[in-house]
Amino acid sequence: MALNSGESGTRIKGFSLIEVVVAIAILALLLGGVLAIFSQGFQVDKRARNQAIAVNLARAAAEEYSSWGMVNITSGVYTLGDVNLNNVTYGRTMQISDHPDFPSQLKRLEVVISWPEGGTTKNLTISTLKADY
């Protein structure tokens, strides 16, 4: 931290270039680690948000079926249309089938929500039974 000024033997206080470079390198490594942690946090937050939206869309689709009435609904796969939220397009399909033990009273609903994430397509499926009461 001190430099000799020459013949007189006096020392000049200050940092050498090597000390400054080492300090900057250490700070860069620390900041790089912090930025990597924040980046991962944002990615996890985005995935969690997409999944929460998918769960809500699936629940809404299952509840929407209740307003259709069971009399006119036949078993099959229904495309419910795409929903675009937060620049993500969610595909919605519902498969309706008769319950094997009580075909006239119970319907099995399987709602599938799909969306693109990280170069792949993610899927969320919920299943429930609806009764004709």
pLDDT in tens, the chain (133 residues): 555 555 566 677 777 889 899 999 999 999 998 888 888 888 899 999 999 999 999 999 988 877 766 566 778 899 988 999 989 999 999 998 888 887 777 888 899 999 999 889 999 999 988 886 6
Q: Are 104 and 131 in contact (CB under 8 A)?
A: no
**Residue 32 region by backbone torsions, left for phi larger than 0, else alpha for psi between -120 and 50, else beta:** alpha
> Domain range spanning residue 13?
2-131
* Single pTM value for the model: 0.69
**HSE (side-chain half, CA atoms, 13 Å) at 95:** 8
- Please name the helix (run of DSSP H) or strand (run of DSSP E) that holds residue 3, with its range, or none: strand 2-4
φ, ψ of residue 80 to 5 degrees: the values are -95, 0
Domain count along the chain: 1
